[in-house]
Amino acid sequence: MNWHNIVTVYLKELKDSLRDRRTLLSTIIIPTLVMPLLTFGVGKVASVVINRARGETPSIVILGGEDSPGVVAQLKASKKFRVVASTADWKQRIGDKQIRAAVRIPEKFEAGLRAGAAAPVVIYHYEGELKSMLGVGELEKFFRDLRDQTVTARLAERALPPSLVRPFEFSRENVAPPEKVGGNLIGGFVPYLIIILCFTGAMYPAMDLTAGEKERGTMETLLCSPVARVDLVLGKFLMVLTGSLSAMVFMLVSMGATAFIAGSMWAGGGKAAPLAAAAAAKDSASVIPMIDPLGLLGVLAMVLPVAVLFSAVIFTVALFAKSYKEAQSYVGPLVLVIIMPAVLGMLPGIDLNFRLALVPILNLSLVCKEMLSGVWHWEYIALIFGSSCVYAGLALALAVRMFNREDVIFRT
């Protein structure tokens, strides 16, 4: 190994890549834009849609209830929903989102109540449809209140205290610090994004520096130089790693900037105390709540060996291909292999254990989720960092080996 040669190769590849539009796009431009787009684009649209749905008064239909005028009148008087005339195709209309829900008041409902107990009320809704669910929520609240009123009235009639049916109250209170809340909401998503960008950042330089060079015929020119093959591989590999890390760094920096801008924007321009900003950001369905900066540093350290692993693996795979196109068809499916463990790690139920700590990518995803929410399991962190380094080292050794094989370099 000759560091002088490695640096020479690296600097040349860096200059070359900076002039390649595809590489610039995947390592700088897209990573910079992804967070702002997600936050201000998708995040904003989502919060607008939800708020509008909340703001609208749900339209409902009453089925039956001719012999229970009191309840019907109360429903009609409520400001929480708008009662529209019932038609025979009410089910269809729920499906078509013209009305949000229907409520069936059983025969002799009020008479039954007076006598003691009435037949059940049934609420019809469209499962999974946001607006229908909001309408149902309001209807349920209405009937729960009605039941409570009935109970209260009955207790009063018999001169019994309300504590007879409600012997105690309970409530809940949040003890998690704000960054912990952020970690759980977003903690799964940020590592996921980091993993994907590390991969796509390495992808284009890796294909360009291997299959691309074969296709353009510069590989043979390069191999004519007296530089040892291992130096060529390492110089090229460092460039691929640079692409991977640059994608991640650009994404994180732009994420920080986005969080800052979004925070002060959603704080309403008022006294933008950090906490108020975080709270404001949270309830406007923001994608970026407060994140523990120390956790972010930890994530960066953990990602390093994984970036090495990705770079070496993509480099090796792309080296087999004869052309850029062929390389794309090999590397493309790899994305799925990466995404699966990354998505698994995003699921709320899965937590770290010693076995999962050895699964590449999934372990990173899980440990990042913990670190971002301020939890530091040092024995897992050491195990994951160590195993990632071993995987990365193996992948890099494989890349060097493949580069030395003439049936890989001169494949026909």
Ligand X SMILES: Nc1ncnc2c1ncn2[C@@H]1O[C@H](COP(=O)(O)OP(=O)(O)OP(=O)(O)O)[C@@H](O)[C@H]1O
Q: Which residues bind ligand X (CB under 6 A)?
A: 410, 412
178, 290 Cβ separation under 8 angstroms = yes
| 8 near other proteins (CB under 8 A) | yes
329 lies in the binding site for other proteins (CB under 8 A): no
**Which partner, other proteins, ligand X, none, binds residue 223 by CB below 5 to 8 Å per kind?**
other proteins
C-beta of 20 vs 110, nearer to other proteins:
20
Binding site partner of 221, from ligand X, other proteins, none, Cβ cut-off 5-8 A by kind: other proteins
Helix (H, G, I), strand (E, B) or coil at 87: coil
Question: How many whole angstroms separate alpha carbon 51 and alpha carbon 320?
Answer: 52
Q: Taking CB under 8 A as the criterion, which residues in 16-55 touch other proteins?
A: 16, 19-20
Which of these, 268, 263, 296, lies nearest to 282 by C-alpha position? 263
Total residues binding other proteins (CB under 8 A): 22
In angstroms, rounded to a whole number, what is the distance separating the alpha carbons of residues 357 and 384?
Answer: 6
Give the one residue of 57, 163, 225, 353 binding other proteins; rule: CB under 8 A.
225
Nearest CA-CA partner of 298 in 181, 175, 179: 179
Residue 172 within binding range of other proteins, rule CB under 8 A = no
Residues 197-216 that bind other proteins (CB under 8 A): 216
Exactly one of 217, 269, 333, 349 binds other proteins (CB under 8 A); which one? 217
* Smallest separation, CB 317 to other proteins (Å): 20
Burial of 247 (0-12, 13-18, 19+ CB in 10 A): buried
Output the residue with the shortest Cβ distance to ligand X. 410
CA dihedral angle for residue 203, residue 205, residue 207, residue 212, rounded to 10 degrees: 160
For residues 126-144, one letter each, b for 16 or more C-beta atoms within 10 angstroms of the residue's C-beta and e for the rest, the string is beebebbbbbbebbeebbe
Residue in 157, 169, 283, 406 binding other proteins, rule: CB under 8 A:
406
Among the residue ranges 11-19, 69-77, 318-326, 345-353, the one whose residues contact other proteins (CB under 8 A): 11-19
Binding mask 228-247 for other proteins (x = CB under 8 A): x-------------------
| Residue 226 touching other proteins (CB under 8 A) | yes
Q: Are 7 and 235 in contact (CB under 8 A)?
A: yes
Which one-letter DSSP state was computed for residue 43?
Answer: I
Comparison of 5 and 246: residue with beta carbon closer to other proteins: 5
* Measured distance CA(290)–CA(38) in Å, rounded: 16
Which of residues 46, 84, 155, 223 is near other proteins by CB under 8 A?
Answer: 223
326 touches other proteins by CB under 8 A: no
Angle (CA) 88 90 96, round 5°? 135
Contacts with other proteins, residue ranges (CB under 8 A): 5, 8-9, 12, 15-16, 19-20, 216-218, 220-221, 223-228, 406, 410, 412
